[in-house]
Amino acid sequence: MIELTVNGRKHSVDVEPEMPLLWVLRDVLDVKGPKFGCGIAQCGACTVHLNGEPVRSCSVPVSAAAGQKVLTIEGLAQRGQLHPVQRAWIDHEVPQCGYCQSGQIMSAVALLGKNRNPSDQDIDAAMTNICRCGTYARIRTAIHAAAKTLKSTKA
Amino acid sequence: MSIPFRKSRRHFLRVSAAVGGGLAIQLTVRAPALAQTAASRKASGPELTAWIIVNPDNSVLIRVARSEMGQGSSTGLPMLVAEELECDWSKVRTEFVSTSEQVRRNRPWGSMATGGSRSIRDSQEYLRQAGAAAREMLIAAAAQRWKVPGSECDAENGVITHMPSQRKVRFGQVAQAASKLEPPRDVKLKDPKEWNLIGKYAHRLDIPDKVRGKPLFGIDVQLPGMAYAAIAQCPVFRGKLATVAGERIKGMRGLIRVVQLEDAVAVVADNWWRANRMLKLLPIEWDTGANGGASTESIREFVRFGLEDSGVPVARNDGNVETAFAQAAKLVEAEYFAPFLNHAAMEPMNCTALVKGDRVEVWAPTQNAEATHAAAAATAGVPIENVEVHLTHLGGGFGRRGFQDYTRQAVAIAKAVEGRPVKLLWSREEDMQHDYYRPMTLMRFKAALDSSGKLTAWRVRDASHSIMAGVRPQEIKEGVDRHALGGIVDMPYEVPNLKIEFAMRNSHVPVGFMRTVFHSQNPFMRESFVDEMAFAAGRDPYEFRRAMLQKRPRDLGVLDAAAKSSGWGSPLPAGVHRGIAVQDSHGSYAAAVFEVSVSSDGELDIRRVVVAVDPGYVVNPDSAEAQVQSCVAYGLTSVLWGEITLKEGRVEQSNFHDYRIMRLAEMPKRIEAVLVPSGGFWGGMGETPLAPLAPALCNAIFAATGKRIRSLPLKNQGLRLA
């Protein structure tokens, strides 16, 4: 049995230790926000946070998450209040098909967790997730907007 | 978490139970749908036309028959209904149409096909009529209640007012009475000047759920007792399965069954990762048939033979090109090439199916739920009345999901484990290597200019795969596939002598509709060659085009708009150069201007992209702008890197590491969408902006370097992104 905490809830799962975290989340724990896109850590659709760090869960064995904290898109809202990044994603109408967006949002939240005022270059470097609909311009705008919101709420 | 079936679905189950079926009644289903299903509706009101349900709380449910794959039609289509209905837009919810209801009620929702940028342009009239009919029914019911003439009443924002007395009633209060009335046959639609919703910014209805990570997509379907299938298909197209040594994985954890299909092997297990892992361990032998030796080079030579062949069908022959060539002051000749491309939707192909007795239930991200319905019925061998397809959101479509191969597989696998729902999911590798690819196309051009630099004759020889040969062969007339000649046979330019020949050259590689379809490669060739002609004539490429478009006001309109917005002709910084192109497609008109600089070692800096589009009417301007941005990312990915190659009959690319997709840092920073809707027609918006991009970029590269790009992608031409 492998124990892990997902969005604040403890789970024990009886799976192979090499099973990727993505598939434990999706097929064992029914947490469907993280998406399967490539299976080789290229596209980032599966991005979740492991102890606050963004990881590509398709390429992280569940054993590496044992005893640790996993945060997915489903755990971002606090007491029904959307995270400022989610809010900005709505305000700027970012998603098109939406499939990559939970990964995009988790990458953006991680970026803003480390860097409260990211430059365009910082965004370029951190946001390597693939979006086939080409929502990139709006992702950039929404990250800048969320940074402003976070600054004003922390001040 | 459980979302009950929507009303129509419950109704279907009641009907089917009466005929002895009752499939899935015992299941608690959490099926993706738009979030606003019966569960979130407080109470269910009556139907007013097949499209509209008005609830007692004044909320309105509008049904959507076309698939949502990111293009925004699940917001734009309801806007068209609501415009005429005069309901409160903030209280509009949506649901996808049920295919079994579509069958049972004799197709009240028309086509469910979602492709060719047709959702809005093909259904706008009947959707607005449905909204207007429902409004008239509500007004008539209110007038009856007040015993006043309907002509004295007006509807606005979900409220009907008797104008003389200023009495008011909400839609929800008269909906029941209205539903008993006969829908009016002739309704007058609003003049576009009176529109309150169409053409105004509207928040997309699907976005809040998407940023919450809600399980909306086909891949998210979760059913009790569901099994998971991974599949390996014969790597050589048209090949077959020879043998599979299933005993190799016997007794392994989670294994439910190995299913053999004619050209594929599926492993069914208790989760997808286990299924896929066991699949990789299976020794499989394929009968690759006659195509096991084909390569990109051999296929290219095979297609290219169409350029040399004699006796090729003629699609158009105006005047006499040969006479004009003989009298030309100058001749221009060139040959162009475009490779196969993969759609690469982010959500790999998947489908969930349950076969029980003579009944089939399918959950599918499909661009044509009716075709999926028919494919499921045919595969299971049951009457179409016994099938239900639940349309999910699509994680990208781009034309790929109009094909039913993955649905047929899912139903066949589900049949093998009858009574148990199975979710079939392709790996990215399967998705990359089993597409219906954008066709490989070659063209050879010859043109004559007179001494004043005017184009007098143009001969086009197109050698291409044909999509129609596979999907609608009856459309090929006397060897000519006009669909494959899009943008060529119907070119907008005035050319006194024009001859167009078509050589259909179909290799073993399956081809299909990929965003903008032939208008993604044909304009690259046509508009690059127009640039070649302008250069040979010593004319400005914008003016050269203008002169030939004098009888085409809409093409001219977007060309002028792109030129004006980009400041065509105005000075640029040293080393920066412009390129221009124009192309109508999918009922709309688009032109683009690129500004680029290219370093001496081939580093390409795309500094500015201006795209002007005239779709007639714009429904949701924000979604229209998003489609321009989307076309830039999709189109530039293809131009810069897109290439599917083959070796030993099989596709060489396997995943995103060798099929490169544009990322955020690579997206041009300055993209300007110039929307110039001229009214009077309804055109598409999801594909047209892509058409002029490749040639406008390549023409700018020529202006910067003097190097003419006649073969894509750019990575093979010594160019890379800065």
State the first-to-last Cα distance of chain A, in angstroms, to the nearest integer. 44
Query: Which pLDDT score, from 0 to 100, does residue B43 have?
Result: 54
B87 pLDDT more than 80: yes
B38 pLDDT more than 50: no
Query: Would B1 be classed as within a structural domain?
Result: no
* Together in a domain, B251 and B387: yes
Instruction: Please give the ipTM for the structure prediction.
Output: 0.98
| Mean predicted confidence (pLDDT) in B76-102 | 97
In this complex, do B204 and A39 lie within 8 Å of one another by their Cβ atoms? no
Domain count, chain B: 3
**Residues B385-435: pLDDT tens digits?**
999 999 999 999 999 999 999 999 999 999 999 999 999 999 999 999 999
pTM for this predicted structure: 0.95
Last residue of a domain, one of B153, B188, B211: B211
In this complex, do B70 and A133 lie within 8 Å of one another by their Cβ atoms? yes
* Together in a domain, B333 and B412: no
Which of A138, A100, A130, A98 has the alpha carbon at shortest distance from B71?
Answer: A98
**Residues B339-395: pLDDT tens digits?**
999 999 999 999 999 999 999 999 999 999 999 999 999 999 999 999 999 999 999
* Together in a domain, B506 and B418: no
CA distances from B14 to B23, B42, B112, B419 (A): 10, 22, 24, 20
| Mean predicted confidence (pLDDT) in B147-169 | 98
pLDDT band at A154, cuts 50/70/90? low
| Backbone φ, ψ for residue B50 (5° rounding) | -65, -15
Residues of B with Cβ-Cβ distance to A61 under 8 angstroms: none
Buried b (16+ CB within 10 A) or exposed e, B681-702: ebbbbbbbbbbbbbbbbbbbbb
Query: Which pLDDT score, from 0 to 100, does residue B712 have?
Result: 98
Residue B29 sits at the vertex; the CA angle it makes with B23 and B35, to the nearest 5 degrees, is 130
* Together in a domain, B183 and B234: no
B22 pLDDT more than 90: no
**Residues B513-554: pLDDT tens digits?**
999 999 999 999 999 999 999 999 999 999 999 999 999 999
Q: A45 and B663 in contact (C-beta within 8 Å)?
A: no
Torsion angle defined by CA atoms of residues B245, B247, B253 and B254, in that order, rounded to the nearest 10 degrees? 70
Query: Which pLDDT score, from 0 to 100, does residue B571 have?
Result: 98
Last residue of a domain, one of B425, B460, B488: B425
Query: Would B389 be classed as within a structural domain?
Result: yes
The dihedral through the CA atoms of B105, B109, B111, B114 has a sign that is negative
- The shortest CB-CB distance from A133 to any of B396, B427, B655 is to B396
Whether residue B713 has a cis bond before it, omega within 30° of 0 = yes
Mean pLDDT of chain A: 97
Nearest CA in chain A to B221: A32
* Together in a domain, B147 and B272: no
**Residues B245-268: pLDDT tens digits?**
999 999 999 999 999 999 999 999
Residue B147 touches chain A, beta carbons under 8 Å: no
pLDDT band at B44, cuts 50/70/90? confident
Q: How many CB pairs under 8 A join A and B?
A: 176
CB neighbour list of residue A70: distance below 8 Å, 6 or more residues apart? A4, A5, A6, A7, A21, A25, A48, A49, A50
Query: Would B167 be classed as within a structural domain?
Result: yes
Residue B641 touches chain A, beta carbons under 8 Å: no
Q: Which domain holds residue B164?
A: 7-25+34-211
Residues of B with Cβ-Cβ distance to A19 under 8 angstroms: 273-274
Query: Which pLDDT score, from 0 to 100, does residue B5 have?
Result: 29
Instruction: Report the distance separating Cα A12 and Cα A34, nearest Å.
Output: 19
Query: Would B2 be classed as within a structural domain?
Result: no
* Together in a domain, B597 and B690: yes
Residues of A with Cβ-Cβ distance to B207 under 8 angstroms: 89-90, 93-95, 98
In this complex, do A132 and B664 lie within 8 Å of one another by their Cβ atoms? no
Q: Would you state the structure tokens that stand for residue B5, as one six-digit string? A: 């079936």
* Together in a domain, B186 and B330: no
Mean pLDDT of chain B: 94
Helix intervals (H) in B423-552:
428-433, 468-471, 522-537, 541-548
* Together in a domain, B226 and B327: no
B28 pLDDT more than 70: no
CB neighbour list of residue B17: distance below 8 Å, 6 or more residues apart? B25
**Residues B182-211: pLDDT tens digits?**
999 899 999 999 999 999 999 999 999 999
Residue B212 touches chain A, beta carbons under 8 Å: yes
Query: Which pLDDT score, from 0 to 100, does residue B30 have?
Result: 42
CB neighbour list of residue B377: distance below 8 Å, 6 or more residues apart? B360, B383, B384, B386, B387
Of A75-79, B30-34, B50-54, B390-394, which range is least confident? B30-34
CATH number, domain with residue B282 = 3.30.365.10
Query: Would B505 be classed as within a structural domain?
Result: yes
* Together in a domain, B599 and B675: yes
In this complex, do A129 and B667 lie within 8 Å of one another by their Cβ atoms? no
| Backbone φ, ψ for residue B69 (5° rounding) | -125, 20
Q: How many other β-carbons are positioned within 10 Å of the β-carbon of residue B573?
A: 8
Last residue of a domain, one of B211, B237, B255: B211
Q: How many other β-carbons are positioned within 10 Å of the β-carbon of residue B414?
A: 31
Query: Would B578 be classed as within a structural domain?
Result: yes
Instruction: Report the distance separating Cα B579 and Cα B124, nearest Å.
Output: 35
E strand or H helix at B352: strand B350-356
Query: Would B639 be classed as within a structural domain?
Result: yes
CB neighbour list of residue B407: distance below 8 Å, 6 or more residues apart? B351, B353, B362, B364, B366, B372, B375, B376, B379
Question: How many percent of chain B have pLDDT more than 90?
Answer: 94
The dihedral through the CA atoms of B75, B79, B85, B91 has a sign that is positive
**Residues B302-325: pLDDT tens digits?**
999 999 999 999 999 999 999 999
* Together in a domain, B440 and B325: yes
B39 pLDDT more than 50: no
Residues of B with Cβ-Cβ distance to A124 under 8 angstroms: 664-665
B281 pLDDT more than 60: yes
B2: amino acid identity, one letter = S
B11 pLDDT more than 60: no
Query: Would B325 be classed as within a structural domain?
Result: yes
| Backbone φ, ψ for residue A3 (5° rounding) | -100, 135
Query: Which pLDDT score, from 0 to 100, does residue B33 have?
Result: 40
B178 or B23, greater pLDDT: B178
**Residues B111-142: pLDDT tens digits?**
999 999 999 999 999 999 999 999 999 999 99
Residue B281 touches chain A, beta carbons under 8 Å: no
Query: Which pLDDT score, from 0 to 100, does residue A153 have?
Result: 80
Reported as half-sphere exposure (CB side, CA atoms, 13 A), residue B492 has a value of 26
Query: Which pLDDT score, from 0 to 100, does residue A111 have?
Result: 98
Residues of A with Cβ-Cβ distance to B213 under 8 angstroms: 32-34, 72-74, 101-102, 105
Q: B664 and A124 in contact (C-beta within 8 Å)?
A: yes
* Together in a domain, B407 and B318: no
Domains defined for chain A, CATH in brackets: 2-75 (3.10.20.30), 84-154 (1.10.150.120)
Residues of A with Cβ-Cβ distance to B425 under 8 angstroms: 36
* Together in a domain, B624 and B700: yes
